Amino acid sequence: MAHSVAEPVPTIAPLSPPSPPPTDRPLHTLPAPFTTSNLQLLAQGAEALVYKTTFLTPNTPCVVKYRPPKPYRHPILDKRLTKARLLAEARVLVRAGREGVSVPRVLGADWEGGWLVLSWVGGGSVRQVLDGWAERVKRGEQKAEQALMDGEILDLMRRIGRCVGRLHDIGISHGDLTTSNIMLQSPSQESGPQPPLGGEITLIDFGLASHITPNSADEEGAVDLYVLERAFAATHPAAEPLFQEVLKAYSESWKGAKSVMKRLEDVRLRGRKRSMLG
Amino acid sequence: MALVRTFRLPHLEDYPVQVALFKNVTNATFLRSQLLAANPDFDYAFLDATMILSPLPLLLTTSLTLQAYLSSTLRTRTPHSELVFRLHPNNNIGESYRKFGISDTTTHLIAIKLSLPPTEVTNESVSKHLAEVVEGESVPIGDEGEELGLWADVAKIRKIYKLNDGGKGRAKGKREVAVNGGARVRDEKKEMESVIMGIMVLKGT
Ligand SMILES: Nc1ncnc2c1ncn2[C@@H]1O[C@H](COP(=O)(O)OP(=O)(O)OP(=O)(O)O)[C@@H](O)[C@H]1O
Ligand SMILES: [Mg+2]
Q: How confident is the model at residue B185 (pLDDT cuts 50, 70, 90)?
A: low
Least confident of A35-49, A220-234, B140-154, B176-190: B176-190
Backbone angles phi, psi at B113, to 5 degrees: -130, 120
- The active-site residue out of A110, A131, A169, A176 is A176
Under an 8 A CB cutoff, do B183 and A198 touch? yes
On whether any CB of chain A is under 8 Å from the CB of B178, the answer is: yes
Span between the terminal Cα atoms of chain B, in Å: 42
More confident residue, A92 or A199: A92
The yes-or-no verdict on residue A142 having pLDDT over 90 is no
Domains of chain B: 4-152+194-204 (3.30.2380.10)
- The length of chain B is 205
pLDDT at B48: 98
Least confident of A195-204, A206-215, B54-63, B73-82: A195-204
Task: Share the mean pLDDT of chain A.
Answer: 87
Burial of A173 (C-beta count, 10 Å sphere; 0-12/13-18/19+): buried
From chain A, the residues in CB contact with B70 under 8 A are 32-33
Q: Which amino acid is at A66?
A: Y
Classified as helix, coil or strand, A42 is strand
State the nearest Cα–Cα gap between A164 and chain B, in angstroms.
9
Per-residue pLDDT of A117-130, as tens digits, reads 999 999 999 999 99
From chain A, the residues in CB contact with B181 under 8 A are 155, 158-159, 162
User: Residues of A at the B interface (Cβ-Cβ below 8 Å)?
Assistant: 32-35, 38, 53-60, 87, 90-91, 93-94, 97-102, 105-113, 155, 158-159, 162-163, 166, 198, 200-201, 253
Asked if A169 and A182 count as a contact pair (C-beta separation under 8 A), the reply is: no
Chain mean position to CA A232: 14
Q: Where are the alpha helices (DSSP H) in A170-256?
A: 217-235, 240-251
Looking at ligand 1, which atom is closest to the CA of residue A1?
A: 21
Q: How confident is the model at residue B110 (pLDDT cuts 50, 70, 90)?
A: very high
Give the CATH number of domain A124-270; options: 1.10.460.10, 3.30.2350.10, 3.30.470.30, 1.10.510.10: 1.10.510.10
The yes-or-no verdict on residue B192 having pLDDT over 90 is yes
Q: Where are the alpha helices (DSSP H) in B11-122?
A: 28-36, 55-70, 79-87, 93-100
Q: Which amino acid is at B10?
A: P
pLDDT at B174: 44
Mean pLDDT of B100-122: 95
- Beta bridge partner(s), residue B179: none
Which percentage of chain B shows pLDDT scores above 90?
85
> Residue ranges of the domains in chain A?
40-119, 124-270
Asked if A250 and A164 count as a contact pair (C-beta separation under 8 A), the reply is: yes
Q: Was domain A40-119 assigned CATH 3.30.200.20?
A: yes
Annotated catalytic residue A224: no
Task: Report the complex ipTM.
Answer: 0.91
Which percentage of chain A shows pLDDT scores above 90?
67
Mean pLDDT of B95-110: 98
The yes-or-no verdict on residue A37 having pLDDT over 50 is yes
